[in-house]
Amino acid sequence: MSSAVRKTSTLVQSARMISENICELVLVYPAGERPEEAVPGQFVMIYPNDGAHMLGRPISVCGYDPLAGALRLVFRTAGAGTKELAALQPGEHVDVLGLLGNGYPMEELRTRKSEGAKIALIGGGIGIPPMLELARQLPGCHAVLGYRTNDLFLYGEFEEYAVTAAATEDGSAGTKGTVLDVLKQDKAPDLICACGPLPMLRAIKQYAEENGAAAFLSLEERMACGVGVCLGCVCTTTHKDEHSQVHRARVCTEGPVFRAEDVAI
Amino acid sequence: MTMKQNVDLRVKIAGVELKNPVMPASGTFGSGLEYAQMMDLSRLGAIVTKGVSNVPWAGNDVPRVTEVAAGMLNAIGLQNPGVDVFIRRDLAFLKQIDTKVIVNVCGKSEEDYLEVVERLSDEDRVDLLEINVSCPNVKEGAIAFGQNPDSLFHITQEIKKKAKQPVIMKLTPNVTSIAQTARAAEAGGADAISLINTITGMKIDVERQRFVLANRTGGLSGPAIRPVAVRMVYEAAQAVSIPIIGMGGIGSAEDALEFILAGASAVAVGAMNFHDPLTMLHVIDGLEDYCRRHGIERISELTGAVHA
């Protein structure tokens, strides 16, 4: 399914801050090295040019245009590495490895959708951007986005593809509270796809169990290699994992998207 | 215009000939499977596997890795699927690859090590054994055997009694005298030594006021440790006559040459594989180019060429 993975020098098409500490980068793969498609939930490793930062930063795909080979990444500037990435200028180059990892099971989601299942896409904070590509490839879902304040980055774009609602911690927009408070206002979905902070994912997992909904969770963990050799980014699994022979799975390789019942979070 | 001169990159480690002196450091390359789609693995001098133990190990809690200036800390804790699955899956894969295979062996007790060594003794795909007596991230065994010269001497002797393949003892830099531990390994009968494993380190998250790694400490690797590693390879080379595989932050041919000139017969690329999976291929090409520029016919001539 996936084309050969290699480290590629991509061209920075645009770089801008779209919110406080939230950066959007659009990168163009060189012709001949463009991934045929991006599965929502996949990620890339992106490497700061400063040699003092030797590891790539795993960042999920927010959008991908296969014809132009244009990859859109939206991420939070947290440390020195991501701040350097945010300072990239159009015309500069930056190394990228991937697309990597397993995204959401699109065939299964499309089948469930065509059978009439109510599907909710849940994004919390910097877990919002990866859900946009999923909303685009699976139109007609419900999107529930959790923000701190009324700085609702990407919200308008979700509205193009999904019935969209927001929760804000300070109540300045949408429902005051969390994404769970929005979910509980309506009939429970049949299927949930979620990306966000661990407490949110835990709450979603529990909510899905209580309401008999299927759930897919996109996990985040510190990574070194991004391709499954270093075993840095494991999560705890509920069954013995085939690759590791223990209750551990690699977030970068077996994930980052897991069935909620398969992981202990 | 000069004639394009052939360069002989072959080196010998304990009687085993490698097509060139470049290999991955254990734990940074799995068994090569994940990188097979990115590169021609048969170009490597050898593949060194992730440490394998007698039974599956679950490793440490996360976070297991973090970046630091020009390097990284890891505390994986030697998670591995155990020797049975390793033989069935990883060795079966390696049978298709035309290069030498060095299997890294880890354990919590002497019996653990010997069990794995014996299980591998009839596997003809295993060319060399590398014994990990230097991992700083597991609570029992490992580094304890490598820090005390007497225990290192003893376990080397016991492994040599059982091993059918030549034995490389992998040494820790977390000692007062690397010359002393190198001599202990040689006296115990080691056919070669490899160094350095990671240097024990720690990173603290000042905003949250807690340790970054779940294990609190981790092993420092990457370019940050290279000068320490070059110095230790030099000191070990002055102390023993068995071959040395040198490693510690190698990311280029120039880096590799420092180790070779200091006394290493071969080199391993570790953390820099994470920066660029093709680092080893660049190192091989760069070594060949260097030899051409300097009129060197055999890379083995360079081993230990710099000395007092």
Q: Is residue B205 part of a domain?
A: no
Which of B30, B50, B222 comes nearest A54 by C-beta?
A: B222
Which residue of chain B comes nearest to A228, CA vs CA?
A: B34
Which residue of chain B comes nearest to A51, CA vs CA?
A: B70
With a cut of 70, say whether residue B4 has pLDDT above it. no
Which residue of chain A comes nearest to B70, CA vs CA?
A: A52
Best of B86, B275, B276 to substitute, by most chain A Cβ atoms within 10 angstroms, is: B275
The pLDDT confidence band at residue A1, using thresholds 50, 70 and 90, is very low
Give the phi and the psi of residue A178 in degrees, each rounded to 5.
Answer: -115, 175
For residues A47 and A39, what is the distance between their CA atoms, to the nearest angstrom? 21
Contact B34 A233 (CB under 8 A): no
Q: Is residue B71 part of a domain?
A: no
Contact B34 A227 (CB under 8 A): yes
For residues A24 and B230, what is the distance between their CA atoms, to the nearest angstrom? 42
Q: Which residues of A touch B280 (CB under 8 A)?
A: none
Q: What is the mean pLDDT of chain A?
A: 96
With a cut of 50, say whether residue A2 has pLDDT above it. no
Q: How many residues does chain A have?
A: 265
Contact A225 B28 (CB under 8 A): yes
Contact A7 B72 (CB under 8 A): no
Q: What is the pLDDT of residue A80?
A: 87
Helix axes B253-262, B279-293, angle to 10 degrees: 70
The pLDDT confidence band at residue B141, using thresholds 50, 70 and 90, is low
Angle (CA) A149-A152-A158 rounded to 5° is 145
Mean pLDDT of B207-217: 97
Contact A56 B274 (CB under 8 A): yes
The count of other CB atoms within 10 Å of the CB of residue A112 is 17
Q: Which of A95, A66, A122, A91 is nearest to A15 (CA)?
A: A91
With a cut of 50, say whether residue A68 has pLDDT above it. yes
Q: Is residue B216 part of a domain?
A: no
**Hey, what domains does chain A have and what are their CATH numbers?**
7-100 (2.40.30.10), 106-218 (3.40.50.80)
Contact B62 A221 (CB under 8 A): yes
Whether B3 contacts chain A with CB within 8 A: no
With a cut of 70, say whether residue A85 has pLDDT above it. yes
Which of B38, B69, B274 comes nearest A5 by C-beta?
A: B38
Contact B34 A228 (CB under 8 A): yes
Contact B64 A234 (CB under 8 A): yes
Mean pLDDT of B13-38: 97
Q: Which residues of B touch A223 (CB under 8 A)?
A: 65
What is the distance in angstroms between the Cα of A95 and the nearest Cα belonging to chain B? 10
pLDDT tens for each residue of B151-165: 999 999 999 999 999
Scanning B69-88 for CB atoms below 8 A from A yields 69-72, 74, 76, 79, 81-82, 85
With a cut of 80, say whether residue A61 has pLDDT above it. yes
Best of B60, B87, B274, B278 to substitute, by most chain A Cβ atoms within 10 angstroms, is: B274
Cα A203 vs. chain centroid, distance in angstroms?
Answer: 18
For residues A193 and A123, what is the distance between their CA atoms, to the nearest angstrom? 9
User: Alpha-carbon Rg of chain B, whole angstroms?
Assistant: 18
Domain that holds residue B174: 11-59+78-197+226-302
Q: Which of B125, B121, B146, B148 is nearest to B135 (CA)?
A: B146
For residues A157 and A211, what is the distance between their CA atoms, to the nearest angstrom? 29
Q: Are strands A163-168 and B199-202 parallel, antiparallel or unpaired?
A: unpaired
Q: What is the pLDDT of residue B296?
A: 96
3-state secondary structure chain A: CCCCCCEEEEEEEEEEEEECCEEEEEEECCCCCCCCCCCCCCEEEEECCCCCCCCCEEEEEEEEECCCCEEEEEEECCCHHHHHHHCCCCCCEEEEEEEECECCCHHHHHHHHHCCCCEEEEEEHHHHHHHHHHHHHCCCCEEEEEECCCCCCCHHHHHHHCEEEEEECCCCCCEECCHHHHHCCCCCCCEEEEECCHHHHHHHHHHHHHCCCEEEEECCCCCCCCCCCCCCCEEEECCCCCCCCCCEEECCCCCEEEEHHHECC
Whether B63 contacts chain A with CB within 8 A: yes
Q: What is the pLDDT of residue B143?
A: 80
With a cut of 60, say whether residue A153 has pLDDT above it. yes
What is the distance in angstroms between the Cα of A50 and the nearest Cα belonging to chain B? 10
Which residue of chain B comes nearest to A48, CA vs CA?
A: B275
Q: Which residues of A touch B58 (CB under 8 A)?
A: 244, 246-248
What is the distance in angstroms between the Cα of A122 and the nearest Cα belonging to chain B? 25
Which of B58, B71, B277 comes nearest A54 by C-beta?
A: B71
pLDDT tens for each residue of B98-136: 999 999 999 999 999 999 999 999 999 999 999 999 877
Q: What is the pLDDT of residue A199?
A: 97
The pLDDT confidence band at residue A4, using thresholds 50, 70 and 90, is low
Residues with Cβ within 8 Å of A8's Cβ and at least 6 positions away in sequence, in order, are A29, A30, A33, A95, A96, A97
Instruction: Count A/B contacts: CB-CB distance under 8 Å.
Output: 108
Q: Which of B250, B220, B244 is nearest to B300 (CA)?
A: B244
Q: What is the pLDDT of residue B1?
A: 44
Residue corresponding to tokens 């990620």 = A43
What is the distance in angstroms between the Cα of B294 and the nearest Cα belonging to chain A? 28
Mean pLDDT of A79-95: 95
Q: Which residues of A touch B79 (CB under 8 A)?
A: 231, 234, 244, 246, 248
For residues A187 and A178, what is the distance between their CA atoms, to the nearest angstrom? 17
Give the phi and the psi of residue B202 in degrees, each rounded to 5.
Answer: -155, 145
B220 contacts B73 by C-beta, under 8 angstroms: yes
Mean pLDDT of B5-24: 96
Angle (CA) B195-B156-B132 rounded to 5° is 40
What is the distance in angstroms between the Cα of B262 and the nearest Cα belonging to chain A? 25
Q: Is residue B277 part of a domain?
A: yes
Q: Which residues of B touch A227 (CB under 8 A)?
A: 34-35, 277
For residues B246 and B260, what is the distance between their CA atoms, to the nearest angstrom? 7
Mean pLDDT of A36-60: 95
In chain B, at which residue ranges do the beta strands (DSSP E only) sit? Answer: 11-13, 16-18, 22-24, 46-48, 65-68, 71-74, 100-105, 128-132, 167-170, 192-195, 199-202, 204-205, 210-211, 217-221, 244-247, 266-269
A256 contacts A39 by C-beta, under 8 angstroms: no
Angle (CA) A158-A161-A166 rounded to 5° is 35
Angle (CA) B126-B95-B287 rounded to 5° is 75
Which of A7, A229, A245 comes nearest B56 by C-beta?
A: A245
Q: What is the CATH number of the domain that holds B274?
A: 3.20.20.70
Q: Is residue B125 part of a domain?
A: yes
Q: Is residue B285 part of a domain?
A: yes
B71 contacts A224 by C-beta, under 8 angstroms: no
Which of B37, B64, B272 comes nearest A232 by C-beta?
A: B64
Q: Which residues of B touch A245 (CB under 8 A)?
A: 56, 81-82, 85
- Total domains, chain B: 1
Residue corresponding to tokens 């060399």 = B128
Of the two residues B243 and A52, the one the predictor is more confident about is: B243
Q: How many residues does chain B have?
A: 308
Q: Is residue B209 part of a domain?
A: no
What is the distance in angstroms between the Cα of B272 and the nearest Cα belonging to chain A? 7
B104 contacts B27 by C-beta, under 8 angstroms: yes
**Greatest CA separation found in chain A?**
51
The predicted complex's ipTM stands at 0.94
Q: Is residue B255 part of a domain?
A: yes
User: Alpha-carbon Rg of chain A, whole angstroms?
Assistant: 18
The count of other CB atoms within 10 Å of the CB of residue A59 is 24
Structure tokens at B196: 């350095």
Q: Which residues of B touch A248 (CB under 8 A)?
A: 58-59, 79
Cα A234 vs. chain centroid, distance in angstroms?
Answer: 17
What positions of B carry a catalytic annotation? 135
Scanning B186-245 for CB atoms below 8 A from A yields 222-223
